[in-house]
A and B are shown apart, each in its own frame.
Chain A
Amino acid sequence: MTNRIWVFMTYGSIVGIPAMASLFVLAHYLFPGIAYVFEALLALALITNFITGMREIYIVSKPIPDKLVVEPVSHVPAEATQRGQGKAVNIVISRFNPDRGIIEKKEYSVAADKYTSVLSALIKVKNYQDNTLSIRYSCGMGICGSCGMNVNGRPSLACETNLLKSAENGKVEVSPMLAHPVMKDLVTNFDDFFEKHKAVSPHIYKEDAGEKYGHGGISRQSREDLVKFLPFSYCIMCGLCLDACPVENTNPNFAGPQALSQVYRYAEDSRDGKGEKRIEMVNSKDGIWGCEFAGACSEVCPKGVDPASAIQLLKAKKIGQMLDPNYCQGEKSGADGI
């Protein structure tokens, strides 16, 4: 697991510095009058964030739980049933065995050409070599979000990951995501993940529900308004960002990059009636302030959603609110009623 610790750190500095710079620009744009105060605060917040983040990352990462003893690799020979021609690639699959409560590594050999994805190779293994392998998949085109897993230790969508390009010395390692409870083989349980998403009330709020279901008419939304939230609406709920997130892996109560990015997505939608009150819902240690800006979520997101930026933007919005002379603690309304 040590590899992953260093990965997080690198991602943090790659994503963090440009993101910080862009926030400064944003501050100038949003609050030209008090930009300097704002910048100082923001810089302080981010630097603190960085330092604490790095320390946290040093200390803890999610190890494979003790009970999950990793068994030695067992070789399964390539079979005559292999389809197609091409290069032989060995796939080492970390399979969770629910009956024994352990991960067993098994190796299979498949024939691959330059178009073979990791998913199609796994399906081949299941169909022609070992029917007992469990994989979750559906669309095969990177839009349903089913096939998240670790390929060579990196959280990836199997259907979008090219097998030959991933192979190192003719070998590819595949393992389940660990931030979600493992069920069987490469399949993980998403219940908590879905709950976290649901908890942030991810839907357009209208004061008058009749407007939503009746004939409110087609809204006018400018392209400028559209692009404010569009990048964050590409989330396919694959769960990879949670798997990569160092905070998520140490604090299960953390709302997580997926849910937080959706808070931003709905808060920025010109059709939403709840506006900034959405931020109150996640204005907590397990919400936006839990994020330590490692940036791993954005690095692994297969759809370019950039949850890390969304969370920093939410933080900036919150600080902006607090700097507003009219802002008063007593007046703030909670998440209730969204």
Chain B
Amino acid sequence: MERRECDILIIGSGIAGMSAAIHASHLSKGKLRVCLVSKLHAMRSHSVSAEGGISGVLYGSENNDSPDMHAYDTVKGSDFLADQDAVEILVKNAPKEIEFFDHIGVPWSRTGKGSISQRPFGGMTIPRTAFAADKTGFFMMRALYDELLSYGNVEILHEHYVTSMLVKRGKFICAYAVNLADRSGKVLSAKSCIIATGGYGRIFNFTTTAHSSTGDGVALAYNSGLPLKDMEFIQFHPTALVPTGVLITEAARGEGGYLLNAKGERFMERYAKSKMELAPRDIVSRSIITEIQAGRGILHEESGLSHVLLDLRHLDPEVIDEKLPMVKELTMKNINVDPHNEPIPVRPGAHYTMGGIHVDVHGRVFLDEKRSVAGLWSAGESACVSVHGANRLGSNSLSECAVWGRITGTEAARHAMSAGQNSALDAKSIGDFYGEEDEKIYELLNGSGSVNPYKLRDEMHGIMEKHMYVYRKVGGMKEAKKRLAKLYSMSKSICIEDKSTVYNTNFRDALEIKSLIALAYVATSCALERKESRGAHAVVEHSERDDRKWLKHTIAVKRGDSVGMYYSQVSITKWKPEKRVY
């Protein structure tokens, strides 16, 4: 049995995971043994794809902004489902994080005076999104990775996939990881563990997320019996490029881009008169689909997808070249369209999952309704704190990752410094756990399964695109749940064709697809129960928000093969729910 013992285990290497690793290391002055596990090369996590920027009030006295205004925008954007105590933590700490990223080398776009530029973003009343051209997430990732290399106490395990986690007697004990290079398994035991594995956008086919956004950490928690929160809330980004689904940043509209229908009308006038294209994403996405359903969309012949147009032709050419270079790069390379001269075909695509592992404002993972797991945190998209509620505002995700990366890293370090050694009881559990996991993987590779994982995944995609997209219908969700339940049971008898021990991606894909199907099933089950429309969850039959019955978080727990559900209160501090008009 190969066993790695460390003080802090961090699963996932995006902005949240690497921030946690850095702050834990800094706090302990490089003494704690930190192990960062990534199923990719650590610097390649999906955070690199974040484009538009990171929100935070930097120069409030100059532009009449304040953390309270940022908080209000966020709460209103969330359709009042966000926990306001968490939102206050976010807005208070976000500026500090932007400053930290300045110190570690992010090439922020600058004003003529040399201060950090900020641009308008959807649902934000004041330009408060700091950016580094339109590759903000990428630059933050590179800065974090490079900074992390300066710490000798951090071991990075590239391309290791965590298949399972042992939580016993209310405490995190260890995790089991498979090294993709040679498929060997190892047990990673730690005093503290942080799950920062990102979202599960890949339950959809037309998505802006990376192929690797498969919700592995969320499924890990779910399979360990830990509660998930608000899984039905999935954000569809209004401007995913047709036909590839690649993200065209909201910054394109922040810098002045228009959305046009087939008639050439700026249709947002009908849906959000004051904010127009810069209304929150759920509203813009619904508006686009409404236009398409009313026959004012444009059919893309090769893919069969209907779309609208994102028009940047009226912008100063320099704005595109300097502030939106990646938009141009992507449209040129993907569809051979130059945004200077031609409008860009776009439609809503799955982009961000508001739901995730149920954590408190410190990022501590809940064990049940009241207690939390000792030594276990989650941060970033894999966690649901919740600061985004039913709909996230653009550029709040990077701040969330940075803020809770630091909070959980700091907490995990303090815990590790004060916690004692593992007990003999734990040692026995670890031995048993290793044996069981080893056997499970042997079984998966050599068992009698006959189901092709890619076929299962395609079927899931078909169901999700049809019934769980921007508008949902009760009947459709019922049908989806029934069919997903079947896929879920089929996912237990997957067949892996590739028996190789070296870089076996067939094996990894199978594990990812199992995670995805479980999460698609949970999301659909939760969605079916919520009989209202709030934020990204729009039900045709229940088109109004219902605060009396549904101002509450959905909590989902694994109960055998079905999903157990209960609800928890929304924390409201300063902002009472009101009608959401833009």
Contact = CB atoms under 8 A, between A and B. Distances in A.
Interface residues of A, number: 69
A138 B500 contact: no
A144 B500 contact: no
B546 interface: no
Contact of B454 (A131, A146, A194): A131
B103 A206 contact: yes
Contacts of A6: none
Contacts of B212: 138-139
A134 B503 contact: yes
B351 to A, nearest CB: 13
A310 B142 CA distance: 18
A98 B502 CA distance: 7
Interface string A194-227: 1001100111101000011101111111110010
Given A143-B49, A221-B114, A198 B107 contact: no
A319 B46 CA distance: 41
Given A135-B505, A144-B44, A204-B104, A223 B500 contact: no
Interface in A78-92: 84-86
A184 interface: yes
A271 interface: yes
A131 B497 CA distance: 6
A137 interface: yes
A212 B454 contact: no
A226 B112 CA distance: 11
B373 interface: no
B46 A139 contact: yes
B149 A221 contact: no
Interface in B144-181: 146-147, 149-150, 158, 181
B104 A140 contact: no
Contacts of A223: 110, 112, 114
Interface in B113-165: 113-116, 135, 138-139, 142, 146-147, 149-150, 158
A204 B146 CA distance: 9
B525 to A, nearest CB: 27
Given A220-B113, A226-B107, A146 B41 contact: yes
A90 B316 CA distance: 43
B100 interface: yes
A169 interface: no
Contacts of B139: 233
A338 to B, nearest CB: 9
B302 A144 contact: no
A72 to B, nearest CB: 22
A248 B512 CA distance: 36
A132 interface: yes
Contacts, number: 173
Contacts of A126: 505-506
- In this complex, the member of B26, B181, B334 whose beta carbon has the largest number of chain A beta carbons within 10 angstroms is B334
A272 B147 CA distance: 13
A146 B503 contact: no
Nearest to A227: B107
Contacts of B246: 140-141
B302 A113 contact: yes
Contact of A128 (B138, B335, B454): B454
A336 interface: no
A114 B243 CA distance: 11
B206 to A, nearest CB: 12
Contacts of A197: 149
Contacts of A134: 498, 500, 502-505
Nearest to B133: A230
B441 interface: no
Contacts of B330: 141-142
Contacts of B244: 115, 117, 120, 140
Given A115-B335, A145-B44, A215 B99 contact: yes
Given A127-B454, A138-B210, A271-B105, A143 B48 contact: yes
A111 to B, nearest CB: 11
B105 A266 contact: yes
A141 B505 contact: no
B231 to A, nearest CB: 23
Given A115-B335, A137-B211, A139-B48, A271 B454 contact: no
Contacts of B45: 138, 144
A99 interface: yes
Contacts of A98: 500, 502
A289 interface: no
Interface in A136-170: 136-146, 160, 162
Contacts of B500: 98-99, 132, 134, 184
- In this complex, the member of A99, A144, A184 whose beta carbon has the largest number of chain B beta carbons within 10 angstroms is A144
B110 A204 contact: no
Given A134-B504, A184-B500, A115 B103 contact: no
A218 B102 contact: yes
B58 interface: yes
Contacts of A220: 113-115
B99 A217 contact: yes
Nearest to A238: B44
B185 to A, nearest CB: 18
B247 A233 contact: no
Contacts of B103: 204, 206, 211-213, 216, 219, 271
Contacts of A183: 181, 502-503
Contacts of B502: 98-99, 134, 183-184
A131 B509 CA distance: 10
Interface string A247-268: 0000000000000000000100
A279 B158 CA distance: 29
A187 interface: yes
A114 B302 contact: yes
B204 interface: no
Contacts of B102: 218-219, 271
Interface in B482-509: 496-498, 500, 502-506
A143 B105 contact: no
A25 to B, nearest CB: 23
Nearest to A272: B105
Nearest to B42: A194
B104 to A, nearest CB: 6
A229 interface: yes
Contacts of A229: 107
A218 B44 contact: no
B270 interface: no
B509 to A, nearest CB: 8
Nearest to B138: A143
A153 B68 CA distance: 56
B98 interface: yes
Given A138-B46, A140-B244, A213-B26, A146 B110 contact: no
Nearest to B109: A226
Contacts of A187: 503
B428 interface: no
Given A162-B333, A236-B48, 8 more contacts: A98-B500, A115-B334, A132-B498, A134-B503, A138-B212, A204-B105, A218-B116, A219-B102
Interface of A: 84-86, 98-99, 113-115, 117, 120, 123, 126-128, 131-132, 134-146, 160, 162, 183-185, 187, 189-190, 194, 197-198, 201-204, 206, 211-213, 215-223, 226, 229-230, 233-237, 266, 269, 271-272
A-B pairs, top 3 by smallest CB distance, nearest first, are A220-B114, A131-B497, A132-B498
6 contacts: A134-B505, A142-B330, A184-B502, A203-B149, A204-B103, A233-B105
